[in-house]
Amino acid sequence: MKYRQIIAVFLMVWLTMSLPVHAEASSKAYFTCPGVQDGLETGYAYEGAQYAQAYAWKNETVFFKTAFQAGSACDVNVTITPLYHPKSDETIPFSIGRLAPSQSSLGMGIDSSAPKVTTFDRISEETSAHLEAGETAYFWIMAEVGEVSPGKYEGMIHIQADQDHTLGISVVVSPFSLSQEQVSLDLWQYPYSSFYRYDALKEEEPFSDRHLEVLRKEMELYHRAGGDTVTCTITEEPWAHQTCYDTPSLVKWNRDGSGNLWFDYSAFDRWVELCSECGINGDIECFSPLPYDNALVIYSDMNEPVRTVLEPGTYDWEFCWQNFFYSFSSHLNEKGWLDRVRLAVDERGIQSVPLVQELLSTIPDGERFRFSAAVNAVPEDYAFYDRFASVSFSVPAVPHQSEAFQEFLAHRKEAGLETTLYNCSTNYPNTFAVSDPYETVWTMEYLGMYGFDGFLRWAYNAWPEGVNALTDNPHFESGDTFLIYPDEKDSSTMLAMKSVRLCMIEQGLADVKKYRILLRTMNPETAEILRQGFARMERWYGSFNAWGAMSPKSDDDRTALVREVLRLESLLQKASAEAAMEARGESSSTLKEQMENRS
């Protein structure tokens, strides 16, 4: 008996020594879903995958997300090797950056009663971090697929920490290219935000060479995401100061001692020229001949600002705006920009637009000015919107599967007029800091299914005061007013950083391009199967939560939306493979089988 007791004790000691000490302290590294907001408690389970594969077209950027959970306090460092094609020796560059944590409110505006959650949206350039035991760091991977040979490219992610880990990654490249299709992307820019933010610019003038260097970093990110429209202010605070920083006019209105008006275009010119240097040569959208409060700020000959409210159609309104348009049209002609300009009206009474158009009829070349509008209601008089070269409708204003509205879109397309979809505060799905990133992808896919020409969103870089640590805005949902992040105020480098949400806009627009290219190039029967797969897209409507912010109605809706995005992307993947087989003279029924199984 004593012998057996000794053996039992020995076995217990041996087993204790053989088992990992504090198993919960083992570090973990794995891929996780890039479309899910990890800062919120959800039912989404990770499988802890050590390998991830994506399917891409040429000229597409694909995104991955990894997580590393420290078993003990440690420094973690992440390195990567290029994605390599073993047959062609070609490589695909990919970069990695840590997702920096921020605090984001679940409420509307600054509501002290609303809970805050940790969100991971800002893609920093950091590839290392110090973690405490049990702490998790997320890293964002971007693989930029250029004009490379089709096939499978493989690479590795190396994580050095308390325990070393290696994750495998691959991208399967299709023979097709996204360059065959264009989709408009208009994210309203605020060029003065960086000027007011950075300490290093305090002694500078707006649009100085140093300020332009900062703006170049911001606008290069915009261009790479597909941005093609330039935002310009031609009046002070055209949106009645909805942002943290001031929004001056890029055109300075002046009145001399005799009452004559004259205009300074130096800031306007430097801004538009910078955007052109960054490859942004689309429309120049000017806000606004009809600002929110009908106010003009005109500087006296003593350089004092004088604010005047002018009701459209009055004598003083006509005098000021007629003088402006005489000067503006002449200046734009000299620069070669007149045919790029759109006079923009945003979510206000657009019935005053005919007054502006009538005024322009008295100006040389006035008829060459085009108009754009963002409206948050379904139009009753469709013909009225023929006045606008571009109209954008908010997501909730679009009637789901309405034949009349689809006919309206078809009419505008046939007439050569642009119609886009936009998103902003109090809508669901959305691109708030606390939103699941796949909400953004769904929005892009929805506009693709419906036949819109592109996407618009306010705003690109209207940052709140403490944007990196706290994404909240005094008036709107957290993160609503920006899609890139600035550097710290005292930074000397003044970097611009992408958000996960901006990446998801890019991913969603890539889906739209694939969908439209495939519809054109596949055989009619298979193309119709693809069209039907998108035509049955589900639509969700949120509700206001206890703190006044728009949210999904339930966790079931959140989960269903993620599933819907994955379904559509799977459909596109299978359709791409089938189209490649068709191009080689082969046949397959994969897509048809998927539709029949409703998978």
Is it the case that residue 24 has pLDDT exceeding 80?
Answer: no
Give the E-state strand segments of 106-238 in sequence order: 116-123, 128-131, 136-145, 151-160, 165-177, 184-187, 230-233
Amino acid at position 51, single letter: Y
Give me the domain span that covers residue 53. Answer: 30-175
Average pLDDT over residues 548-558: 94
Is it the case that residue 103 has pLDDT exceeding 80?
Answer: yes
> Is 234 among the domain residues?
no
Is it the case that residue 176 has pLDDT exceeding 50?
Answer: yes
> Is 560 among the domain residues?
yes
Exposed, middle or buried: residue 130 (CB in 10 Å: 0-12, 13-18, 19+)? exposed
> Is 579 among the domain residues?
yes
Bridge-partner residues for 75, per DSSP? 130
**Interval 364-387: pLDDT, tens:** 999 999 999 999 888 778 889 999
**Interval 220-246: pLDDT, tens:** 999 999 999 999 999 999 999 999 999
Say which residue, 526 or 212, is predicted with more confidence. Answer: 212
- CA pair distance 68, 141, nearest whole angstrom: 14
**Mean of the per-residue pLDDT values of the chain:** 91
Q: Which of 244, 242, 119 is nearest to 194 (CA)?
A: 244
| CATH at 68 | 2.60.40.10
Q: Choose the final residue of a domain: 117, 145, 175.
A: 175
Average pLDDT over residues 430-458: 97
**Interval 140-173: pLDDT, tens:** 999 999 999 999 999 999 999 999 999 999 999 9
Q: Give the per-residue pLDDT at 11.
A: 28
> Is 348 among the domain residues?
no
Q: Give the per-residue pLDDT at 394.
A: 95
Query: Can you give the pTM of this predicted structure?
Result: 0.93
> Is 112 among the domain residues?
yes
> Is 434 among the domain residues?
no
> Is 471 among the domain residues?
no
- CA pair distance 352, 294, nearest whole angstrom: 11
Q: Choose the final residue of a domain: 175, 201, 231.
A: 175
> Is 63 among the domain residues?
yes
Question: What 3-state class would DSSP assign to 199?
Answer: helix
For 399, the token pair is 């009637």
Pairing relationship of beta strands 116-123 and 151-160 according to DSSP bridges: unpaired
Number of domains the chain is built from: 2
Is it the case that residue 437 has pLDDT exceeding 90?
Answer: yes
Q: Give the per-residue pLDDT at 381.
A: 84
Pairing relationship of beta strands 341-346 and 284-287 according to DSSP bridges: parallel
Collect all residues with Cβ–Cβ distance below 8 Å to 582 and sequence separation of at least 6: 522, 523, 526
Q: Give the per-residue pLDDT at 596.
A: 55
Is it the case that residue 5 has pLDDT exceeding 90?
Answer: no
Say which residue, 10 or 95, is predicted with more confidence. Answer: 95
Q: Give the per-residue pLDDT at 39.
A: 62
Count of C-beta atoms within a 10 Å radius of residue 311: 9
Work out the pLDDT band at 38, boundaries 50, 70, 90: confident
Q: At CA 251, angle to CA 250 and CA 257, rounded to 5?
A: 140
Average pLDDT over residues 122-150: 96
Q: Give the per-residue pLDDT at 14.
A: 29
Q: Choose the final residue of a domain: 144, 175, 206.
A: 175
Q: Give the per-residue pLDDT at 19.
A: 34
